[in-house]
Structure 1
Amino acid sequence: MNIIQKKIRFSPIAYTRYLRGIKKSHGMFREGEILQSLSVKSWRIAPGNTTISPKAFFLEGQLDRITGTAYTDDPFKAMNGGFEVEHQETRAYKLKDIWMINGFIYKGLHNFRLHPTYQLSNKMNYFPHVLIDTEIDHAALYSTSEGNQYFGLWLTDDCANYALAAAEGTPVTSNIIPYSHMAEYESFLEMNPFRTNAAYLKNAILFDDNWGNNESKHLRFAANRAKLLARFPANSHPGVFILRRNSGISRVMLNEIEIAEKLREKYGFKIVDVTQNMASEILLACSGAKVLIGIEGSHLFHGLMMLEPGSSVLVLQPPTRFSAVIKNTTDMENINYSFVVGIQKEENFSIDFEEVERTLELLPF
């Protein structure tokens, strides 16, 4: 690593956030245009490409139950497919004289947030470091604000970007651990980043693909899947249900355990629980699964990391928060996407097991 600890640097830069009108804040996510304006050099790592969105598998009338969405503008268009998707190119940006303090990256009059505010140190937010003893000559940052807020995007985006960072310099990320399963995944995926909450980066490479799933990203994601499958090999089996329970953003399915148990009794599904099981236990259960089932959410990405092309995912969607985000990954990896929309029960929802069975019958095996 190109880490230097030979002198103390004084920087009040983090305090400039208190001077209104001086700091311009951004999320460290899809900020290629801003990074371009601040960089001394930029280049294309991989070209973009276009794909045709496939139609999801679902029963008639399911879309009519939707009363609200999350990160999905048009669920009818997203699920019926047939349209062209343009995936942006992957670009790198070289910036000089960067400060990385308490989950923020500072450059000139701009700062980039790497974490949601609830993950940051309140004390350090009000009294950030002014004396920095860590310098890195050639850093490469692969983390994004969205990846640090949503576990699924950390697995698909940040972990895939790690390979880019390792090729360009010292992979650097914050010293904030937002997920309980993160350390296990870093070990399994051979990720060894330098963690810091206070460093001066003489040269820093940052990446952006505007959340595109181009061919390069597919290959990096597939390489990570191959590492996990080599570590957790298994024979083919009917499927796995990943219990969400009360983890993450609230979306309580009243009969979640009941549906999981019925799938185990009738079809031989395995059941794992993200609130109880280690990542190794979840990945072992998902390895070899023909179908992955669970409530819509980041916890399903444990399974998506293991599903091979041609397998399927069946997402149980709350009617008030229908999301097509997972379909972005299944489309990239040639995995069949299906869903059942729940029935609203006051603030929560339930799923009709018969509809789950009928949807399973639609899937190719």
Structure 2
Amino acid sequence: MFQKTSTMPMTTRPIRSTWQHRLAFERIRFRLARRFGLDVNLLNAAASVEELHPTEKIAGAPCIALPGQFERISKGGFDIDIAEEIAQLKGGPREIGPTVRYVLDNVLVSHGIIHARGRRKLFNSTIDLGSVQSPWAEYDEAGLRSSYVGCYFFGHWLADDCTTHLLAQQSGTPMSMPTPPWPNCAGYLGLFGQSYIELGRAHVRRLVLYDDIAHNEHKASRFRALRARVGSNNESRAAGRIVYLMRGRLGGAQPVGTDAYRSSFGRTIHNEAEIVEALMRQGVTIVCAETLTVPQLIAELLGARIVIGLEGSQLSHGLFTLHDKGGMLAIQPPDRLYNGYMDAMNVLGMRYGIVVGEQRQSGFHLPLGDLLRTIDLMDTKLC
């Protein structure tokens, strides 16, 4: 459902080698500006900035967790403040960022970076685009659906970039920075009725992009629109079920998503086989997203009462398939606390819970009793 710029005749103009020379000049300007301590953030030089939804401070529903879980946490992911994160998990005030629309004039896009006036905006410069350079294209106007994290992690591509798409399409055919070839992308684009042009190298006279990461009410309205598309005319075998989503290997980008990179996260559940066997005895449905097509995956998840899984990209499937009053239970490594789905669950009126493992070398052990008791606790809260 996406197309390379070289195959899209709609707004492209003849190739101009001058853009390659200008790109080299922009890179020199950027390096000099950075050396002299000048502002190199391209968004600070936007032609216009419009706040579509303001920053808010909320006190959401407390996270569902057994006593003693927070004490196991030794470290947070992505340099988060553990004490602040735990306070917010307990229901303390939490700042939800704004949704902002930026317009950039006369920019160059190359290899996941936007360049102009000695400044830049980085998306994904590490992705392997192959040895063949895409030809230069020109666009009068483009709406960008991409986020920085959506270029690296499938979960953010699905939860963030696909919702931002509904904003980007207001500027014509949405465009995307290059992303890894995650296997479920095409299926979800078809399900959502979305398509886009992938930007390789281009000159854009007017580029519209968004800061749309925060899960505020503005974004929630677009989430609900996509959830409605998923729920319409799709077969469901999961209504009222509890589902355990097994983690696959392809949630991150390449080369960031290599096995070596992923193992550094320490997200290996040493006793997962024991957990899966016990959950099956309890009547929990076990689903491995990477082995299913998107229609098959939706059928297994749509209308589920609770979705359980290791914190990571695979839980994003639950955001679009859980029952309107459902719950998500995230299994957390003790040395990598991260609650990327808590704000989305809160703003959508759903419940969020965690169960924390016990540290082991190269991973962690999840006490089965803790998991089963937390499932029971969440089930009670949902009644």
2: distance between equivalents of 1:158 and 1:89? 16
| Residues 34 and 233 of structure 1, relative CA distance in 2, 3 Å threshold | farther
Looking at secondary structure, tell me which structure has more strand per residue.
1
Q: Which residue of 1 aligns with 2:101?
A: 92
**Secondary structure at the counterpart of residue 245 of structure 2:** strand
Matched, 1:192 2:195: yes
Q: Deviations over 1:143-167 (max 9, x none)?
A: 0111111222212211111000101
* In 2, Cα distance between equivalents of 1:325 and 1:272: 21
| Identity over aligned pairs, percent | 27
Give the aligned partner of residue 293 of structure 2. 278
Match of 2:22 in 1: 13
Pairs aligned (count): 349
Between 1:145-154 and 1:7-16, the stretch displaced more is 7-16
Gaps of 5+ in 2: 1-7, 252-261
Secondary structure at the aligned position of 2:169 is classed as helix
Contact 2:102 2:208 in 1 (8 A): yes
Q: Give yes or no for the alignment of 1:77 onto 2:87.
A: yes
Kindly provide the CA deviation profile for residues 290-345 of structure 1, in whole angstroms up to 9, marking residues without a partner as x. Answer: 11111111111111221133211111111111112221221222221111111222
1:315 to 2:322 alignment: no
1: CA distance, partners of 2:128 / 2:106: 23
Q: 1:53 to 1:290 in 2, by over 3 A?
A: same
For structure 1, list consecutive stretches of 5 or more residues without a partner in the other structure. 26-32
Q: Does 1:337 align with 2:356?
A: no
Partners of 2:31 and 2:201 lie apart in 1 by 24
Q: Residue type of the partner of 2:228?
A: A
Distance in 2 between the 1:96 and 1:2 partners?
Answer: 22
Secondary structure at 2:31 match in 1: coil
What is the aligned partner in structure 2 of residue 53 from structure 1?
A: 60
Give the CA RMSD over aligned residues: 2.5
Q: Does the CA contact (< 8 Å) of 1:245 and 1:252 recur in 2?
A: no
Q: In structure 2, how many angstroms separate the alpha carbons of the residues matched to 1:4 and 1:245? A: 38
Q: 1:19 to 1:185 in 2, by over 3 A?
A: same
Cα distance in 1 for residues equivalent to 2:354 and 2:89: 9
TM-score normalised over the length of structure 1: 0.87
1:145 matched to 2:148: yes
State the Cα distance separating 1:212 from its structure 2 match: 2.1
Partner of 2:366 in structure 1?
351
User: Within 5 Å, which residues of 2 pair with 1:1-365?
Assistant: 3-9=10-16, 10-11=18-19, 12-16=21-25, 17=27, 21-22=31-32, 34-71=41-78, 72-74=80-82, 75-83=85-93, 85-115=94-124, 117=126, 119-121=127-129, 123=131, 132=136, 134-209=137-212, 211-234=213-236, 236-248=239-251, 249-250=262-263, 251-266=267-282, 268-363=283-378, 364=381, 365=383
Partners in 2 of 1:310 and 1:243 — Cα distance? 22
In 1, distance between residues paired with 2:250 and 2:169?
A: 32
- Tell me how far apart the structure 1 counterparts of residues 172 and 50 of structure 2 sit (CA, whole Å): 15
What SS does the corresponding residue of 1:271 show, helix, strand or coil?
strand
Contact 2:76 2:336 in 1 (8 A): yes
When normalised by structure 2's length, the TM-score is 0.83
Q: Match for residue 257 of structure 2?
A: none
Structure 2 CA distance, aligned partners of 1:297 and 1:342?
15
Amino acid corresponding to residue 77 of structure 2 in structure 1: A
Q: 1:231 to 1:351 in 2, by over 3 A?
A: farther
- DSSP-derived class of the 2:280 partner: helix
Rounded Cα–Cα distance in structure 2 between residues aligned with 1:23 and 1:285: 53
Deviations 1:118-161 (A, max 9, x none): x133757xxx67x62x2211111110111111222212211111
Q: Is the CA contact 1:68–1:322 (under 8 Å) kept in the aligned structure 2?
A: yes
Q: Specify whether residues 166 and 23 from structure 1 end up closer, same or farther in structure 2 by C-alpha distance, changes over 3 A only.
A: farther
Please state how far the C-alpha of 1:195 moved relative to its aligned partner. 1.8
Distance in 2, Cα, partners of 1:203 & 1:2: 18
Task: Report the alpha carbon displacement of residue 278 of structure 1 after superposing the two structures with TM.
Answer: 2.4
Which residue identity does 1:237 align to in structure 2? G
